[in-house]
Amino acid sequence: MKSIITKRNAPYFFLAPMIILFLAFMAYPIADSFRLSFFNFEGGTYTLVGLNNYAVMLKDPIFWKSLSNTVIYLIVQVPVMVILSLILGVLVEQDFLKFRACYRIGVFLPSITALVAYAMVFKLLLNTDYGIINYVLRAAGFRGVDWLNTVWGARFSIIMGITWRWTGYNTIIMIAGIKGIPTELYESADIDGASFWQKVMGITIPMVKPIMLFVSITSTIGTLQLFDESFILTQGGPDNATITIGHYLYNTGFAFFKFGYAAALSYALLIIIGVLSVIQFKMTKGGEN
């Protein structure tokens, strides 16, 4: 009795479901998205407009604003988070620490919450008149900040939100990196009488550099696709100060029905992320050498 599945054809059987899924829900939409980006949806039908959508996009202030918002997050939020997660990782991995698991879990917990859920909690915490954050500020003698309704207040709110949600997650990755450092390095440093700081600066940081880079780039890619926070917490405002490409794409396609333009925006996003991924690939390869 022989099965039709042999050693030769087995891999194709194993791969079949994924191939079908990829073709239907990845290859087809990507191709179709490219096609749609040359059309406009008007009067119930698609009309060919050539490169017009891309031309409009290059002149579209909101598109550029969404990119510059991402750059702001990138410059401010990513370094803060990477450094914070490195510090946490280093501190948690110290030998003397008691209840290590508790700290680790505590810090990691934010990253299991739904983005929508935490954005809603933050919205309340950041409320101008009734939020706890302003309550504390006022109690300490400061003036309350109009967090969600001013340009920098709103940006800072998003930055705070993302930092809260992802620092623990990245800390875990850092810890993995720190644990992977050969202990002999530290032992020989100890023999040389190196201080804690010298060991951190001289061994830990250089050794986890590739991880830091990985975290930075994945965080950047994540920021480009940010949607939930912008949608719930600030609605992209004020004056699009916090809108991201993902959010703008949603508005364009699914609130204004400009499917062609949304497709063009999505291709811009694809290209930007593609470039970043190549950079990441090149740099992490470099880090290993």
Partner 1 sequence: MDAMKGKNMGRKAVTYVFLTIAVFASLFPFYFMFVSATNTNAQILSVSPKLTFGTNLLTNLENLNKKLDIGRVFINSMIMTVSYTGLSILFHSMAGYALSKYEFKGKGLMFGFIMMTMMIPGQVMYVPLFTLMNRIGWANTYQAVVLPGLANAFGIFLMRQNMLSFPASLIEAARIDGYGEMGIFFRVVLPNMKPAVGALGIYMFMSMWNNFMWPLIILGTKSMYNFPVALSMLDGVVWRKDYGVIMLATSLATLPILLIFLIFQKQFVAGVMGGAVKE
Partner 2 sequence: MKRQMKATALSLVMALSLTACSGGGAPVTKGGSEAKGEADKSLSGTVTVWSWDVALAHLQEEAEKFNEIYPDVEFNFEEMGVSQVYSKITTCLQSGIGLPDVVSLEGEQMAKFGEKFPDKFVDFTGDIKAEDFLDIKISECTAGGKVVAYPWDAGPCAMFYRTDIFEQAGVKAEDIVTWDDFIEAGKTIMEKTGTAMMPLATARKDTTYRMLLMEQEGFYFDENGNTNVNSPESIRAMEMIHKIYNAGITVNDNSWDDFIASLSGSKIACVPEAVWLAGSIKDAAPDQSGKWGVMELPRFDKDKESGGASNGGSVLAVPASAKSKEAAVEFVKFAMTDKEGNVEGFTKYGLYPSYIPALDSEVFKEGDEFFGGQKIYDLFNAVGQKIPKCNYTANFAEAIDLSKNAVSKVTLDGQDPKTVMDGLQEEMKAKFGK
Q: Which is nearer to partner 2, 225 or 235 (CB)?
A: 235
In angstroms, give the least distance from the CB of 69 to partner 2: 13
Per-residue mark of binding to partner 1, 195-214 (x: CB under 8 A): -x--------------x--x
Task: In whole angstroms, give the CA distance from residue 187 to residue 173.
Answer: 23
First to last CA, the chain: 52
Judged by CB under 8 A, the residue of 227, 237, 251, 283 near partner 1 is 227
Residue 91 binding result from partner 2, partner 1, none, given CB thresholds of 5 to 8 Å by partner type: partner 1
The kind and range of the H/E element at 200 are none
- What is the chain's alpha carbon radius of gyration, rounded to the nearest angstrom? 24
| 128 binds partner 1 per the rule CB under 8 A | no
Residue 144 binding result from partner 2, partner 1, none, given CB thresholds of 5 to 8 Å by partner type: none
Judged by CB under 8 A, the residue of 51, 71, 91, 201 near partner 1 is 91
Chain residues binding partner 2 by CB under 8 A are: 40-44, 52, 56, 59-61, 128-129, 146, 148-151, 237-240, 251, 254-258, 261
| 194 binds partner 1 per the rule CB under 8 A | no
Judged by CB under 8 A, the residue of 224, 236, 241, 243 near partner 1 is 224
Task: In whole angstroms, give the CA distance from residue 155 to residue 234.
Answer: 9
Residue 185 binding result from partner 2, partner 1, none, given CB thresholds of 5 to 8 Å by partner type: none
- Parallel/antiparallel/unpaired status of strands 45-48 and 39-42: antiparallel
Task: In whole angstroms, give the CA distance from residue 249 to residue 125.
Answer: 28
Q: Which is nearer to partner 2, 261 or 267 (CB)?
A: 261
Residue 110 binding result from partner 1, partner 2, none, given CB thresholds of 5 to 8 Å by partner type: partner 1
Task: In whole angstroms, give the CA distance from residue 58 to residue 132.
Answer: 41
In angstroms, give the least distance from the CB of 237 to partner 2: 5
Per-residue mark of binding to partner 1, 51-70 (x: CB under 8 A): --------------------
Alpha helices, DSSP H only, in the chain? 10-22, 28-36, 52-59, 61-92, 100-108, 115-125, 132-139, 151-179, 183-191, 196-199, 205-224, 228-229, 245-250, 259-288
Task: In whole angstroms, give the CA distance from residue 215 to residue 81.
Answer: 9
